[in-house]
Amino acid sequence: MDIPAGHAMLGRVVNSLGQPIDGLGPIDTSHRRPIEFKAPGIMARQPVCEPVQTGLMAIDAMVPIGRGQRELVIGDRKTGKTSVAIDAIVNQRETDMVCIYVAIGQKASTVATIRESLLQHGVLDKTVIVAATAADAAPMQYIAPMAGAAIGEYFMYNDEYGNPADAEHRGGHVLVVYDDLSKQAVAYRQMALTLHRPPGREAYPGDIFYLHSRLLERACKMSDANGGGSLTALPIIETQEGDVSAYIPTNVISITDGQIYLQSNLFFQGQRPAVDVGISVSRVGGDAQVKAMKQVAGTLRLDLASYREKQSFAQFGSDLDATTQYQLNHGAHMMELLKQGRYAALDVEDQIVSIFAAKENFLDDIDLDHVSLFRDELAQYMQERHPALRKSLSDGKISDEASKRLKQHIASFKEHFLSTCPNKVKEEDVTAKAESNKTNALDQNVKVGE
């Protein structure tokens, strides 16, 4: 079984058979691709070596994604899984990546909303939306992800003129989002039970693992002799009450090269994206990370883990020693730094500058409410005043000279920032309050002793 594929499909919404469903007329394509296609062998591939920038600091710094990687986005319903994927697509506006968004078992109104968002942000003309909505039959939902992979493979296995990719004709780069594979598994279970196939765990058929493994194995980075193209997969899995040990989540976790775990508790606390850095991991993306980012973000995960451990002691206030108070304050500012709104992507150079400023303790005495504003204005300041230094950050490691200059520029900006956005609570007031609490506690202890 094959479906049409080609550059004419960009900007269109199609069903699982490649037929247009957006009312904009027929699609004139020159090629067709099989829905089921054998994944490339070992020798046809090369290791992941180029980054996919999502524009989300929590992901690009701690759970980096590389071209050709399979990174699972997993979490409960309504924790921002689709938002992360759409932000990643929107951030490819200025890159050479083609994006495929596969909607499986979603409401048609949701797909229409996503299409409108992509159109407004100028990225629809390099995106194909494959939609098998909740109203479609189970077989259509079952083949939708494979149809999306087939359309993506056209761009990976061919150059921009449709010639087969080789050493002279470079293959393209594709980002495919499968939203979500839980619903594809349910559709496949429905088909298997209808065909009286013996049910296994959770009534899924025995080959449900093979269904997802052969789909995700099609994502790869091709060798230079085969055109050097790539297909990056972002499968999405929905968990029930945070249970990652269920059948489908464990299957897909074991197949993919890492997972971004979105936690509902963090989401409801206002941490967006709600990435749980403790359980999230990228197994190969670090090899593709920008060197300067690797340099500044190396201890970020440890800092946040230390902050989480000490958070439970925060209620004791001034009874904590100075080191613990510093870690709590520093960690709270780091968590605030990682908050980003929808469609508020940051360039990798701006992310590096922000994390550098946080590591060098420039943020620790700024009000938490002002941290996001400080980050955004610092990015604008570096773009306008010091573009050469900013651009050099994406070329290699931060040298001692560059580090010295960065500190000077950040200190200069911070002085200006505090004059326009002064802190609501001054540092002296905090110290005085802490001393007051300590004195009161001592007085109470004396009274108890009497």
Annotated active-site positions, please?
A: 283
Structure tokens at 303: 């800092």
Tell me the backbone φ, ψ of residue 173, rounded to 5 degrees: -115, 135
| DSSP per position, 377-440 | HHHHHHHHH-HHHHHHTTTS---HHHHHHHHHHHHHHHHHHHHHS--SS-HHHHHHHHHHHHHH
Structure tokens at 362: 């420039």
The helix/strand/coil state of 340 is: coil
- Alpha carbon of residue 295 to chain centroid: 20
Helices in 73-228 by DSSP H: which ranges?
81-90, 108-120, 138-157, 181-194, 208-216
- Dihedral (CA of 146, 152, 156, 161) sign: positive
Tell me the C-alpha distance between 395 and 393, whole Å: 6
Preceding amide of 273 cis, omega within 30: yes
Tell me the C-alpha distance between 386 and 124, whole Å: 33
Contacts of 59 (CB under 8 A, 6+ apart): 65, 84, 260, 273, 275
Structure tokens at 99: 């994006």
Tell me the C-alpha distance between 33 and 153, whole Å: 8
Q: Cβ atoms within 10 A of the Cβ of 342, count?
A: 13
Angstrom distances, CA of residue 215 to CA of 109, 162, 186, 289, 336: 27, 23, 16, 26, 37
Structure tokens at 21: 């469903």
